[in-house]
Each structure stands twice: as structure tokens, then as C-alpha cells.
């Protein structure tokens, strides 16, 4: 079992295969089967995971409790080192996970029916499990943060590896983007603002609650299901215009004026303040764009493409002067891929694997030659707004076995991950020797990955 598989245990516990625990355990007399430190592992814990995980390599009644026991070693280390995931991190991950489940199920109602739980119960269960998962990730990062490998070590590691055994680097591309947001008609902006003023009036006169209106009308899918509520977050986590309006609120009974952000238009209500963090509700409304305005943008981009092909100006000059995409505009249209390395450092590269591109761009890139400009197409930007785009394929590096010269970062990460895996395996074995462990007799004859659970 790899450490990476171990770190996914918490999410497996709440995977979409989950069924009601009561159904799983109706005929089980619960009991403590393992004790690791001061943490107990129950028979019902094992049964629940066994039901959710499907097929397991080896005896599930040996594999699963060992995985849970390893998890508890990491969580105990988090207490020793005072490592704790923030509420903000946890809540963001919980909402992302629940949104994925809702999309898979088709609706919140279908998800509740499938899980036989209310959304509140699902959220509460997911919170604890996501918290454990994030904490374990933070512990492993803390334990392995000093593991570094030099270029010489990378070359030595791979010097005798046959070329057909080297990792295969998938096709990578460099893309230049020119994007335009179609015009929003003033009448549509007025309609959105009128709706938000109506919501404010209904809240102030007591005919409706903010939460009810958010559930019914807010276009922020992450918070609408919670009545527009967002957990404690700092000012830096918000769009500047939204943050300035929110941090000017002092009375929970007051509703903010209408605020325009990069996402649309909002009204905001303060729930509570904790230090420099606020707990808020908001309702988001996005102006709808007429098809004729989308068509007008596509037509303009088509004309720009023709001018570029005719040599009037370059794609790069056009992107710098005309593109609405702030991230790429300052790079003459070149898109950048932001990733993190083993130590959590940000890596900025212009190369994208096809799977890392937005779906619409990846689909268009497939049919382009190097240097070719696409036909105009539409997609959503990162704020969820409609935009019209043209792209230019700057370069394409086809799939190939990794080389030191072209793919050093990939090979370096492989070696670092290998060293981290070895370090963590040794750490687990050392922890087994210094941690109180008690296992019920029926489990002592298991063939464990780490035999040190059973002490002579």
C-alpha cells in the first residue's frame, strides 16, 4: 500500500459508493477490535469501509484496520506537532466534494435519497473526514519537507534505467489566448439590480428570510444550498469589491448595498465576526447575455483572426491590447499553468498537459497545427462568466519517454516521491515501536504490510 493510497482513505470513507451505515451494520454487535495510542478502532469502522471500498487486495479484515491504524498514527503526530487544518480549508474542500456528489447524483434531493441522509448530516460527516484527510496531508508534508534531491542524484537514479522503463511524458502544449466578454445590455443589469433590491426589501420587512431567498434565487451553487452562508473567511479570500462591502458591515440586521464583483452582483449580510474573519451570507445574481451579443463577439474575433492571418498585426499584439483575460493578457496572450512541487512551492510553466486545459480549449487544440489560429468559440471563464475566445497553438511537445534535459522537474519529483515514501515507511515502523497498540486475538495472525503491530 502506498502512502498516497493511505491519504485517500478519508475520502474513500465518504465516496459515492457509500450506503447508510445503519443498513451496513444492522446485524453487527459493535466492539473495539484495535487500540492505537488512545484511539479505538471499532468493528463497525471496518465494516463501513469494507462496504464502501469494493474489492480490496488481500483480506479486507486485515488490510482495512491496518489502514485505519496508520491514519491514527498520523493524526496523533498532528497533535504532537500542533498541526491543524483551518476551518476555511476544510469548508472549501467539503463544499467542493459535496458539489461533485450533487453533480454526479443529479440534484441534492437525489443525493439525500441515495445516502439516506439530509444534506446537513452529509455535510457534518464529510467535515470530520475531510478534516482528517487534510490533517494527514499536512503531517506528511511536514515530515518530508526537508527531502530534496540534487540534479546529480536524479541523473544517477535514472542512468541505468532502460528507455522503455522511463516514465512517459504525455503530450504538452503551449497556448495563446484572446478572450472577449460579450456585452451585457443595460436593461439586463437593471433587471438584476431590481431583483436584488426586491430581495432586500422582503428581508427588511420580514416577509422573507435571507436564507430562503438565497436558496431560491442565488446563482452561487456553493453557498446557495446553505442559504447563502459562507463560513469564517479572511478579507483576502474575496474579490476586493465584495470584501470592501462586507467588511464595512457592522450590524447583522443590515443588508449591504448592491455590490458588483467579477462574479456578478451581490447583496451581503453579516452573521458573525471572529478576529479578522467574517461569517457571511450573500445572494449572487449574474446578468444573462443575449445570443445576439454572443454572436457579435464571435464575429469581432473572427475579423481579428483574419487581420492576424493577413499580417496586419500579430496574435501576441492583439492579445496584449484587446484580450479580457487578465492572466494571459500581460504575457502577450500566453497561458500559464500554475502547479506546486513536492515542497509546496509554486511552479509556473507555459506547458499544459491536455488534461490540464479547460475542456473547451483542449477540444479545439486537438485539431490545430502549430502556429494555427482557431475559429472563435465560447466557454466559461474561471468566475463562471460567458466569454468568447480564439486561441493560437504556439507549440506541441508530443508524448515521449522522459529525458533529463527536457523533463528534469518530472524526474526530480519521481525521485523525491520515492525518497518520501521510504522515509514515511520507516517513520511508520518507528511509530509502531513507541505507540501503545492492542489488537484482538482474531486479528493477530494477519499478514500486515507493517508487521510491527503485533509485538512479541
Q: What is the pLDDT of residue 89?
A: 80
In tens, the pLDDT along 310-322 reads 999 999 999 999 9
- Answering whether pTM is above 0.85, one says no
Q: What is the pLDDT of residue 2?
A: 57
In tens, the pLDDT along 47-58 reads 888 876 666 678
Q: Could you say which DSSP state residue 334 is in?
A: B
Residue by residue, DSSP assigns 266-293 as EEEEEEEEETTEEEEEEEEE-----HHH
Angle between helices 108-115 and 119-144 (to 10 degrees): 80
Q: What is the pLDDT of residue 341?
A: 57
Are the beta carbons of 16 and 106 closer than 8 angstroms? no
Q: What is the pLDDT of residue 113?
A: 85
Residues in the chain: 456
Please state, in angstroms and as integers, the Cα–Cα distance from residue 427 to each residue in 77, 116, 309, 408, 434, following that order.
11, 40, 60, 28, 11
What distance in Å separates the CA atoms of residue 385 and residue 367, rounded to the nearest whole number? 25
Q: What is the pLDDT of residue 345?
A: 62
Structural domains of the chain in order of their starting residue, each with its CATH number: 3-148+417-453 (1.10.4030), 171-183+290-398 (3.10.50.40), 186-285 (3.10.50.40)
**H or E stretch covering 42:** strand 39-42
Residue 369: all three cell numbers together: 497545427
- pLDDT-flagged residues of the chain (< 50): 1, 8-28
In 3D space, the residue among 16, 37, 130 whose CA is nearest the CA of residue 453 turns out to be 37
Q: What is the pLDDT of residue 343?
A: 53
Amino acid at each position: 500500500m502506498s502512502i498516497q493510497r493511505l491519504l485517500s482513505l478519508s475520502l474513500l470513507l465518504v465516496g459515492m459508493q457509500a450506503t447508510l451505515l445503519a443498513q451496513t451494520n444492522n446485524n453487527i454487535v459493535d466492539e473495539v477490535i484495535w487500540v492505537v495510542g488512545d484511539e479505538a478502532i471499532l468493528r463497525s469502522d471496518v465494516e463501513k469501509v469494507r462496504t464502501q471500498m469494493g474489492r480490496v487486495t488481500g483480506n479486507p479484515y486485515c488490510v482495512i484496520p491496518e489502514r485505519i491504524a496508520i491514519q491514527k498514527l498520523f493524526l496523533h503526530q498532528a497533535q504532537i506537532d500542533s498541526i491543524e487544518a483551518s476551518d476555511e480549508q476544510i469548508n472549501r474542500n467539503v463544499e467542493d466534494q459535496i458539489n461533485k456528489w450533487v453533480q454526479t447524483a443529479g440534484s441534492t434531493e437525489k443525493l439525500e435519497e441515495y445516502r439516506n441522509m439530509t444534506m446537513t448530516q452529509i455535510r457534518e460527516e464529510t467535515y470530520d473526514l475531510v478534516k482528517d484527510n487534510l490533517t494527514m496531508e499536512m503531517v506528511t508534508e511536514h515530515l518530508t519537507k526537508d527531502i530534496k534531491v540534487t540534479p546529480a542524484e536524479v541523473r544517477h537514479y535514472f542512468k541505468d534505467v532502460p528507455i522503455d522503463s522511463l516514465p512517459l511524458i504525455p503530450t504538452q502544449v503551449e497556448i495563446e489566448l484572446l478572450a472577449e466578454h460579450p456585452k451585457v445590455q443595460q436593461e439586463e443589469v437593471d433587471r438584476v439590480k431590481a431583483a436584488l433590491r426586491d430581495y432586500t426589501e422582503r428581508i427588511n420587512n420580514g416577509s422573507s428570510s435571507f436564507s430562503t431567498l438565497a436558496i431560491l434565487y442565488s446563482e452561487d451553487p456553493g453557498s446557495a444550498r446553505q442559504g447563502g452562508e459562507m463560513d469564517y473567511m479572511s478579507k483576502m479570500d474575496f474579490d476586493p469589491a465584495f470584501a470592501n462591502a462586507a467588511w464595512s458591515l457592522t450590524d447583522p440586521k443590515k443588508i449591504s448595498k448592491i455590490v458588483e464583483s467579477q462574479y456578478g452582483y451581490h447583496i451581503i449580510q453579516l452573521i458573525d465576526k471572529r478576529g479578522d474573519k467574517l461569517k457571511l451570507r450573500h445572494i449572487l445574481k449574474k446578468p444573462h447575455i443575449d445570443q445576439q451579443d454572443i454572436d457579435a463577439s464571435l464575429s469581432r474575433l473572427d475579423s481579428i483572426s483574419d487581420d492576424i492571418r493577413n499580417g496586419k498585426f500579430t496574435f501576441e499584439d492583439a492579445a496584449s491590447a484587446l484580450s479580457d483575460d487578465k492572466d494571459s493578457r500581460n504575457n502577450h496572450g500566453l497561458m500559464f499553468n500554475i502547479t506546486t512541487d513536492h515542497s509546496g512551492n509554486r511552479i509556473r510553466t507555459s506547458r499544459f498537459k491536455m488534461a490540464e486545459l479547460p475542456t473547451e480549449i483542449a477540444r479545439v487544440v486537438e485539431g490545430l497545427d502549430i502556429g494555427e489560429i482557431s475559429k472563435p468559440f465560447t466557454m466559461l471563464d474561471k468566475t463562471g462568466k460567458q466569454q468568447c475566445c480564439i486561441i493560437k497553438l504556439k507549440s506541441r511537445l508530443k508524448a515521449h519517454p522522459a529525458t533529463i534535459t527536457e523533463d528534469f522537474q518530472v524526474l526530480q519529483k519521481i525521485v523525491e516521491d520515492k525518497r518520501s515514501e521510504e522515509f514515511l515507511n520507516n517513520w511508520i515502523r518507528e511509530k509502531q515501536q513507541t505507540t501503545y497498540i492492542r489488537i484482538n486475538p482474531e486479528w493477530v495472525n494477519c499478514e500486515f504490510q507493517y508487521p510491527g503491530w503485533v509485538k512479541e
